[in-house]
């Protein structure tokens, strides 16, 4: 702890006497600077105990001299007596009390160098104590980070080291770790902090917000502002947490890629092999939820679903997140996380359930609804009521001209026709989905109508075509 004017004045060997500014005696002394200059401000940094014999001072200069010292933020003035002045002038004492500057009378027998040595010893002791404290804190934090404590252990250790509270937020601004337990009641908006450090207030505490290399934010709250040692300790924790979160991110990425691989095994019909990799996969019938939304929202949803590990299996596939298991928890998380369009299907075979869920998700996106069950999707309920062979025969006969044309390589009529019907005859939306110009799509649909010899403007014809295409898929 830095030496104060009060502690310095209390050292018997120095024989100092306080003559003015007693209210400021608890100011810490940063260093000692002897000078006889009437304006030493250019040579000061602030926090010094200025020593003088008053060689150039007289009654008319006391007030401007002391005010210059206050402007320079000096800690106090040591006035040596027995040379230029027999005692500290009463007029100077009066002005010092007025401006609130502590003044210590230095007796003739006490050399200025003795005061400098006393302050120097204290500064050296403080610096050594700070170095030891920083070193020990770094060791404790590092051992915690590389041990089993992980990020949570670092947060708890840091809270004890700085005698305050600490909260770790993820990249989305959600609370991830907090210590002590009462810190979980802290509500801070850290989403606006993109990089760097910010100091804010929370109640009576000062809070330092520090970003963790875009992986999150660390909030450190203390009753008193952090000193330089405390800031060093926090910086160490920030570095260790950044590394821990980066390693955690790499592990999550590997796990995500593994899940995607398992999903592709299921999509190819290799159920047994997939279960060898992930034994906890749900049993048949398969309940598949396909979630469409922005990439950022899907990534956030995936991270949140990780909290239900063992209950839910989720994997990225193309522009959708595929979730195996559909319950109230999953639906609540999907609804809370972002704006999504989801498709739901239940089937005994996974490839069928997956295809149906993805189709329902696309339809949900087109219709701008949050959730669409495949059974409620156009034509899906009717298929289950019809004879499969008869339905396939009808589909093959009706679509034969279109399929024959596509086999020649002269067009992509069947896929274009399906997309056009899915989008309820909306040319621009269907063309965008196919990645073609709307005139190209119009030409394809017109050609299909010619080959089928049907009026595609008739609702009944469209219903028959949709039924035939659904049987085909």
Residue-level pLDDT at 296: 85
Last residue of a domain, one of 314, 346, 377: 377
Q: How far apart (Å, rounded) are the C-alpha atoms in residues 172 and 216?
A: 7
Q: Is 194 exposed, middle or buried (0-12, 13-18, 19+ CB in 10 A)?
A: exposed
Q: How many residues does the chain have?
A: 473
Residue 96: CATH number of its domain: 3.40.1390.20
Are 324 and 414 in a shared domain? no
**Is residue 86 pLDDT above 80, yes or no?**
yes
Q: How far apart (Å, rounded) are the C-alpha atoms in residues 178 and 220?
A: 10
- Stretch 181-192: mean pLDDT: 84
In a domain, 354, yes or no: yes
Are 235 and 314 in a shared domain? no
In a domain, 134, yes or no: no
In a domain, 401, yes or no: yes
The DSSP line for 149-169 is -HHHHHHHHHHHHTTSEEEEE
Residue-level pLDDT at 115: 92
Q: How far apart (Å, rounded) are the C-alpha atoms in residues 5 and 29?
A: 7
Q: How far apart (Å, rounded) are the C-alpha atoms in residues 379 and 381?
A: 6
- Stretch 339-348: mean pLDDT: 88
Q: How far apart (Å, rounded) are the C-alpha atoms in residues 415 and 395?
A: 15
- Average pLDDT score, the chain: 85
**Is residue 75 pLDDT above 90, yes or no?**
yes
- Stretch 9-36: mean pLDDT: 91
Task: Find the helix or strand (DSSP H, E) in which 70 lies.
Answer: helix 62-71
Residue-level pLDDT at 190: 80
The larger pLDDT score, comparing residue 350 to residue 327, is at 350
Residue 51's pLDDT band (cuts 50, 70, 90): very high
What 3-state class would DSSP assign to 366? helix
What 3-state class would DSSP assign to 329? helix
Residue 349: CATH number of its domain: 3.30.70.270
Q: Is 331 exposed, middle or buried (0-12, 13-18, 19+ CB in 10 A)?
A: middle
Q: How far apart (Å, rounded) are the C-alpha atoms in residues 240 and 400?
A: 65
Q: How far apart (Å, rounded) are the C-alpha atoms in residues 11 and 8?
A: 6
| CB hemisphere CA count around 313 (13 angstroms) | 22
Q: How far apart (Å, rounded) are the C-alpha atoms in residues 325 and 283?
A: 10
Last residue of a domain, one of 347, 377, 407: 377
Phi, psi of 362 (to 5 degrees): -65, -40
In a domain, 430, yes or no: yes
Are 392 and 369 in a shared domain? no
Are 367 and 398 in a shared domain? no
Q: Which two tokens stand for residue 206?
A: 């000062």
What 3-state class would DSSP assign to 38? coil
Are 11 and 103 in a shared domain? yes
Overall number of domains in the chain: 4
In a domain, 276, yes or no: no
Are 399 and 456 in a shared domain? yes
Are 47 and 106 in a shared domain? yes
Are 404 and 428 in a shared domain? yes
352-388 pLDDT, tens digit per residue, is 989 999 988 988 888 788 888 887 764 545 555 556 6
Residue-level pLDDT at 96: 94
pTM: 0.45
In a domain, 121, yes or no: no
278-308 pLDDT, tens digit per residue, is 888 888 888 899 999 898 888 888 878 876 7
Instruction: Express as a percent the part of the chain with pLDDT over 90.
Output: 23
Are 318 and 353 in a shared domain? yes
Are 362 and 410 in a shared domain? no
In a domain, 407, yes or no: yes
Residue-level pLDDT at 16: 93
Are 178 and 224 in a shared domain? yes
303-342 pLDDT, tens digit per residue, is 788 767 667 888 999 999 999 876 667 878 888 888 899 9
Residue-level pLDDT at 380: 46
Does residue 136 contact residue 36 with C-beta atoms inside 8 Å? no
Are 397 and 358 in a shared domain? no
Q: How far apart (Å, rounded) are the C-alpha atoms in residues 351 and 358?
A: 11
In a domain, 132, yes or no: no
Does residue 241 contact residue 270 with C-beta atoms inside 8 Å? no
- Stretch 443-457: mean pLDDT: 89
- Stretch 228-256: mean pLDDT: 79
Q: How far apart (Å, rounded) are the C-alpha atoms in residues 238 and 210?
A: 8
Structural domain containing residue 434: 388-472
Chain-centroid distance of CA 395 in Å reads 53
156-171 pLDDT, tens digit per residue, is 999 999 899 999 988 7
Last residue of a domain, one of 83, 110, 137: 110
Q: How far apart (Å, rounded) are the C-alpha atoms in residues 196 and 238?
A: 11
Q: Which two tokens stand for residue 312?
A: 């839910």
Q: Is 279 exposed, middle or buried (0-12, 13-18, 19+ CB in 10 A)?
A: exposed
What's the alpha-carbon Rg for the chain, to the nearest Å? 38
Does residue 208 contact residue 224 with C-beta atoms inside 8 Å? no
Nearest to 10 by CA among 23, 25, 24: 25
111-159 pLDDT, tens digit per residue, is 999 999 998 888 888 777 777 888 888 888 888 877 777 788 888 999 9
The larger pLDDT score, comparing residue 79 to residue 311, is at 79
């Amino acid at each position: 702890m830095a030496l104060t004017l009060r502690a310095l004045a209390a050292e018997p060997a120095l024989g100092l006497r306080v003559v003015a500014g007693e209210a400021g005696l608890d100011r810490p002394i940063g260093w000692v600077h002897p000078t006889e200059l009437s304006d030493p401000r250019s040579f000061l940094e602030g926090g010094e105990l200025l020593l003088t014999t008053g060689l150039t001072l007289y009654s008319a200069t006391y007030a401007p001299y002391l005010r210059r010292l206050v402007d320079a933020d000096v800690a106090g003035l040591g006035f040596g007596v027995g040379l230029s002045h027999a005692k500290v002038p009463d007029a100077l004492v009066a002005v010092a009390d007025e401006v609130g500057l502590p003044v210590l009378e230095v007796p003739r027998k006490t050399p200025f160098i003795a005061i400098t040595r006393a302050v120097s010893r204290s500064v050296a002791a403080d610096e050594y104590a700070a170095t030891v404290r920083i070193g020990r804190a770094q060791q404790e934090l590092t051992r915690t980070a590389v041990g089993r404590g992980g990020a949570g252990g670092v947060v708890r250790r840091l809270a004890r080291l700085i005698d305050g509270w600490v909260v770790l937020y993820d990249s989305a601004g959600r609370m991830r770790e907090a210590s002590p337990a009462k810190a979980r009641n802290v509500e801070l908006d850290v989403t606006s902090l993109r990089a760097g450090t910010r100091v804010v207030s929370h109640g009576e505490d000062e809070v330092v917000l520090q970003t963790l290399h875009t992986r999150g934010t660390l909030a450190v709250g203390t009753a008193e502002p952090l000193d330089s040692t405390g800031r060093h300790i926090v910086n160490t924790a920030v570095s260790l947490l950044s590394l821990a979160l980066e390693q955690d991110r790499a592990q999550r990425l590997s796990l995500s890629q593994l899940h995607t691989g398992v999903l592709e095994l299921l999509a190819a019909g290799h159920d047994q092999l997939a279960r060898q990799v992930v034994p906890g996969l749900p049993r048949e019938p398969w309940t598949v939820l396909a979630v469409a939304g922005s990439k950022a929202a899907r990534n956030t949803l995936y991270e949140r679903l990780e909290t239900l590990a063992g209950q839910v299996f989720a994997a990225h596939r193309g522009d959708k997140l595929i979730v195996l298991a559909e319950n109230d928890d999953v639906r609540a998380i999907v609804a809370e996380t972002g704006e999504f369009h989801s498709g739901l299907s239940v089937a005994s075979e996974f490839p069928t359930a997956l295809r149906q869920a993805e189709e329902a998700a696309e339809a949900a996106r087109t219709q701008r609804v949050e959730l669409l069950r495949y059974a409620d999707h156009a034509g899906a309920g009717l298929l289950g009521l019809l004879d499969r062979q008869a339905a396939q025969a009808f589909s093959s006969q009706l679509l034969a001209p279109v399929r024959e044309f596509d086999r020649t390589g002269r067009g992509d009529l069947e896929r274009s026709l399906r997309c056009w019907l899915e989008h309820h005859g909306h040319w621009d939306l269907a063309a965008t989905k196919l990645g073609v110009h709307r005139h190209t799509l119009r030409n394809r649909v017109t050609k299909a109508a010619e080959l089928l010899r049907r009026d595609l403007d008739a609702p009944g014809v469209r219903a028959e075509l949709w039924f035939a295409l659904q049987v085909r898929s």
